[in-house]
């Protein structure tokens, strides 16, 4: 096992596992956010409250934070090694045929990282330590996350930053999803093209799903 974990390939595998776990989390998170526009704020609050208080989810949350941590640390570590592997660069820029998004993984990653910090400050910590619950006659003890989220999405600068970040997260995922399978050593004449298609569809769902919520709340007078 030590051979595996300390090697370049081992670090990539850890990164890929953590990345795919994050990718699943993004879908669950999208599903809950969707409640804001397909259902009502009460349902959203109950779901958000469940996610914040359920014991099992708490365990998953710890795994998630560990995953984010490993993905970021290894991502940056491997990238620095990669930069150091070519101390003197080329004068003429590279003209080889390659996948486009894979060249900008670290750049999209830095944007996601910044967004992640903003997001944790704006929502996650608020939901953890917030005092303002919904009125007791509506739902005792349930925090009113919906109001906070909607207030944010009514600010144009926030909405614009949000849309740009999710576009770039999508770019990260266009390469990331299928790359993870290649890293696991999974390559197959029939299944690999399927994985690539699923990866693109997944990235599009993330981009358009999250963007739709932001736009609907910003534009609709009902919120």
Partner 1 sequence: MDFTLKIWRQENAKAKGRFETYKISNISSDCSFLEMLDQLNETLVDKIEIPICFDHDCREGICGMCSLYINGRPHGPDDDITTCQLHMRKFKDGDTITIEPWRAKAFPVIKDLMVDRNALDKIIQAGGYVSISTGGVPDANSIPVSKKNSDLAMDAAQCIGCGACVATCKNASAMLFVAAKVSHLALLPQGKVEAKERVLRMVRKMDELGFGNCTNTGACEAECPKSITLTNIARLNREFIFAGILSEDKY
Residue 111: name its binding partner from ligand HEM, partner 1, none (Cβ under 5 to 8 Å by kind). none
Residue 3: name its binding partner from ligand HEM, partner 1, none (Cβ under 5 to 8 Å by kind). partner 1
Binding site for partner 1 (CB under 8 A): 1-5, 7-13, 78, 81-82, 84-99, 102-103, 105, 175, 178-179, 182-187
Using CB under 6 A as the binding rule, whether residue 11 contacts ligand HEM is answered as no
Q: Take residue 82 and report the two structure tokens written for it.
A: 């990669």
Between CA 166 and CA 119, with CA 57 as vertex, the angle to 5 degrees is 30
Q: Which is nearer to partner 1, 55 or 86 (CB)?
A: 86
User: C-beta of 59: minimal distance to ligand HEM in Å?
Assistant: 19
Q: Which is nearer to partner 1, 9 or 204 (CB)?
A: 9
Using CB under 6 A as the binding rule, whether residue 179 contacts ligand HEM is answered as yes
DSSP string, the chain: -HHHHTSHHHHHHHHHHHHHHHHHHHHHHHHHHHHHHHS-HHHHHHHHHHHHH-HHHHHHHHHHHHHHHHHHHHHHHHHHHHHHT-SS--SSPP-----TGGGGHHHHHHHHHHHHHHHIIIIIHHHHH---BPPTTTSTT-B-HHHHHHHHHTSHHHHHHHHHHHHHHHHHHHHHHHHHHHHTT---TTHHHHHHHHHHHHHHHHHHHHHHHHHHHHH-TT-
Using CB under 6 A as the binding rule, whether residue 75 contacts ligand HEM is answered as yes
Region 95-134 residues binding ligand HEM, contact defined as CB under 6 A: 102, 105-106, 109-110, 112-113, 116
Q: Which is nearer to partner 1, 43 or 183 (CB)?
A: 183
Out of 71, 171, 202, 211, the residue judged to bind ligand HEM by CB under 6 A: 71
User: C-beta of 183: minimal distance to partner 1 in Å?
Assistant: 6
Using CB under 6 A as the binding rule, whether residue 172 contacts ligand HEM is answered as yes
- How big is the chain by its Cα radius of gyration, in Å? 20
Confirm if 144 and 173 have CB atoms less than 8 A apart.
no
Out of 19, 44, 48, 149, the residue judged to bind ligand HEM by CB under 6 A: 19
Residues within the interface to ligand HEM (CB under 6 A):
12, 15-16, 19-20, 22-23, 26, 71-72, 75-76, 79, 102, 105-106, 109-110, 112-113, 116, 172, 176-177, 179-180, 183
């Amino acid at each position: 096992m030590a051979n595996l974990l300390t090697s370049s390939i081992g670090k990539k595998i850890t990164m890929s596992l953590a990345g795919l776990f994050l990718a699943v989390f993004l879908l669950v998170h999208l599903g809950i956010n969707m409640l804001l526009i397909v259902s009502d704020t009460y349902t959203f609050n109950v779901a958000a409250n469940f996610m914040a208080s359920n014991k099992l989810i708490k365990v998953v949350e710890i795994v998630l934070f560990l995953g984010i941590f490993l993905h970021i640390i290894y991502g940056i570590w491997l990238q620095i090694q990669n930069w150091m592997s070519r101390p003197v660069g080329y004068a003429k820029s590279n003209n080889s045929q390659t996948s486009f998004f894979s060249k900008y993984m670290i750049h999209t990653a830095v944007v996601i990282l910044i967004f992640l910090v903003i997001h944790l400050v704006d929502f996650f910590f608020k939901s953890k330590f917030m005092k303002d619950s919904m009125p007791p006659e509506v739902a005792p003890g349930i925090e009113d996350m919906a109001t906070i989220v909607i207030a944010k999405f009514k600010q144009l600068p926030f909405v614009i930053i949000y849309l740009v970040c999710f576009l770039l997260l999508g770019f990260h995922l266009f390469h990331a999803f299928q790359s993870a399978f290649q890293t696991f050593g999974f390559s197959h004449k029939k299944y690999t093209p399927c994985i690539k298609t699923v990866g693109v569809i997944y990235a599009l769902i993330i981009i358009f799903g999250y963007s739709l919520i932001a736009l609907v709340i910003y534009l609709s007078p009902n919120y």
